[in-house]
Amino acid sequence: MKGIRYGWILLIAVAFFTATICYPSISISADTIKIGVVGPRTGSAAATGTAFAEGIDLALDYINGKGGLLGKKVEVVFEDTGGVPEKGVAAVEKLVNRDKVPLVVGTSHSSVGIAISEQANRYKTPFIIAESWADEITSKNYKYIFRAGPCNTGVVSEIIKWLKAEGFKKASLVAENTDWGLGIKKLTVEALKEANIEFQTIDTERNSKDHYTELSKIMKYDPEIILAFVYGFGVHYFIAQANEVGLTPKAIIFEGAGPPSLWPQFWENVGDAGNLECFISSMHKSAQPNQVAKDYWDNYVKKFGKEPSDYKSRSIYRVLLIAFDAIEKANSLDGDKLVDALEKSNVTVPSGQVNFGTEKGSVWYHQFQPPMLIIQWQDRQQTVIFPENVATGKLIRE
């Protein structure tokens, strides 16, 4: 082929060769133990990435303050997933094959969690999920996959208990058209039928800023409560527009993802329409089940000069504590030994004592479900309204 500029190809080959050979790949035999974390640092859920970064800082302070693990300092390599499965897969590819991490923790999108689970299991690298709720992740019963965070089945069970306790009879169920939204919708529909609660279902687009079509259908139905399974800023618009059309405060909105109701932009976006909104969370100042939870809260305030608001900082802290404990107990970085240590884990984390299910055949295999709280905004203050044993107040209706 006359005219082909071989110089360029040679240059690419040399550059790529140099890049790949010279890139610092740090193995576990070095002076530090590296743990991989994956989470959305960019994209619509970047706030979760920020919360994760805070939790990682606190966890590293804790473990390195104790002298590290196996006599070595602990480091975290935090890779961005952008909330996109392919990016999550690429992140794990890097963590496992370039950074040589012995295990990976994190993630918050179910689609990303599902994609990474396949890959981590293939690479025989233990993966502890913090905040991907899809049941599919643990119901596949993969050996190397653990979840120390909510699963849809567990969350729906708590929501239904609350609906029954409050005596709600008629609900509208609005779910985003994603894996998480449709997954939790399916489970909620089954649970509502079983609880004899009348309901309608409506699918919506996660990033939609205009919810008037959905709201007009809900208004015709006239429910007592709207269960909104929408993650991201879309739910802020939904809450504001529901108030604008007069649906709330007559009907109560329950936001089923949690963090969007705690993001700094929440009040800015929803204004007074946010009052009396309910949401799910795994953390509240008044509900500190143990000393680890109190220490986490105090250390957070000391380090960041504010109280923790997004419970996902505590979620990543939780899974990192579990990972540290597994490495310590396994006294090894071998994947199989870590799995063994995780299955026997009884470490205390801010959500309680960890016990992963070990019986195959259901969603509870390798699953630890942290207790969930139902919180209501009352005059811009959070009030825990369920479960009763930790409640700081009662549900306020119009």
Partner 1 sequence: MLKSKYILGLFILAIFLSFPIYIGKYWLHVSIISLFYVMMASSWNLLAGYTGQVSFAHAAFAGIGAYVSGIIAIKLNIPPTIGLFIGAGIASLFGLGLGMLCIKMGGIYLSLTTLAFSEIIRLIITNEYELTRGTMGLEVPNLIGFYSKTIYFYIMIAVSIIFLLIIYKIIKSDLGTSFRAISNDELAANSLGINVIRVRIVAFVISSAMAGFAGALFGHYLLLITPDISSLSQMFLILAMTIIGGMGSFFGPIIGAFFLETLSEYIRIYGEYHVLIFGIVALIIARFAPSGLDGIYQEKISPKMAKS
Binding residues for partner 1, per CB under 8 A? 1-2, 4-10, 12-13, 15-17, 19-21, 23, 25, 41-42, 46, 49, 78-80, 84-87, 89-91, 93-94, 97-98, 110-111, 114-115, 118, 122, 134, 177-179, 182
- For the record, the structure tokens of 130 come out as 């913090």
We find the least distance from the C-beta atom of residue 83 to partner 1, in angstroms, to be: 9
For partner 1, the closer CB: 99 or 224: 99
We find the least distance from the C-beta atom of residue 55 to partner 1, in angstroms, to be: 15
We find the least distance from the C-beta atom of residue 308 to partner 1, in angstroms, to be: 20
We find the least distance from the C-beta atom of residue 13 to partner 1, in angstroms, to be: 5
We find the least distance from the C-beta atom of residue 168 to partner 1, in angstroms, to be: 28
We find the least distance from the C-beta atom of residue 317 to partner 1, in angstroms, to be: 19
For partner 1, the closer CB: 16 or 212: 16
- For the record, the structure tokens of 39 come out as 């989470």
The string of DSSP letters for 121-160 reads HHTT--EEESS---THHHHT--TTEEE-S--HHHHHHHHH
Backbone angles phi, psi at 65, to 5 degrees: -65, -25
Tell me whether residue 261 is exposed, middle or buried, using C-beta atoms within 10 angstroms of its C-beta: 0 to 12, 13 to 18, 19 or more.
buried
User: Torsion angle, CA of 175/179/185/188, rounded to 10 degrees?
Assistant: -140
- For the record, the structure tokens of 355 come out as 């016990």
For partner 1, the closer CB: 26 or 390: 26
We find the least distance from the C-beta atom of residue 151 to partner 1, in angstroms, to be: 15
3 state DSSP class of 394 = coil
Q: In what order do the strands lie in the sheet with 252-255?
A: 198-204, 170-176, 225-229, 252-255, 278-281, 373-378, 381-386
We find the least distance from the C-beta atom of residue 93 to partner 1, in angstroms, to be: 5
Q: How far apart are CA 196 and CA 78, in angstroms?
A: 45
Asked whether the beta carbons of 199 and 172 are under 8 A apart, the reply is: yes
We find the least distance from the C-beta atom of residue 377 to partner 1, in angstroms, to be: 29
Q: How far apart are CA 96 and CA 119, in angstroms?
A: 10
For partner 1, the closer CB: 176 or 224: 176
Q: How far apart are CA 329 and CA 339, in angstroms?
A: 11
For partner 1, the closer CB: 59 or 115: 115
For partner 1, the closer CB: 126 or 232: 232
For partner 1, the closer CB: 54 or 158: 54
3 state DSSP class of 37 = strand
Asked whether the beta carbons of 355 and 342 are under 8 A apart, the reply is: no
User: Torsion angle, CA of 356/357/358/361, rounded to 10 degrees?
Assistant: -140
For partner 1, the closer CB: 9 or 301: 9
We find the least distance from the C-beta atom of residue 207 to partner 1, in angstroms, to be: 11
3 state DSSP class of 234 = helix
Q: How far apart are CA 166 and CA 279, in angstroms?
A: 15
For partner 1, the closer CB: 18 or 286: 18
Tell me whether residue 128 is exposed, middle or buried, using C-beta atoms within 10 angstroms of its C-beta: 0 to 12, 13 to 18, 19 or more.
buried
For partner 1, the closer CB: 8 or 167: 8
We find the least distance from the C-beta atom of residue 98 to partner 1, in angstroms, to be: 4
- Distance separating the N- and C-terminal Cα atoms of the chain: 79
For partner 1, the closer CB: 363 or 384: 363
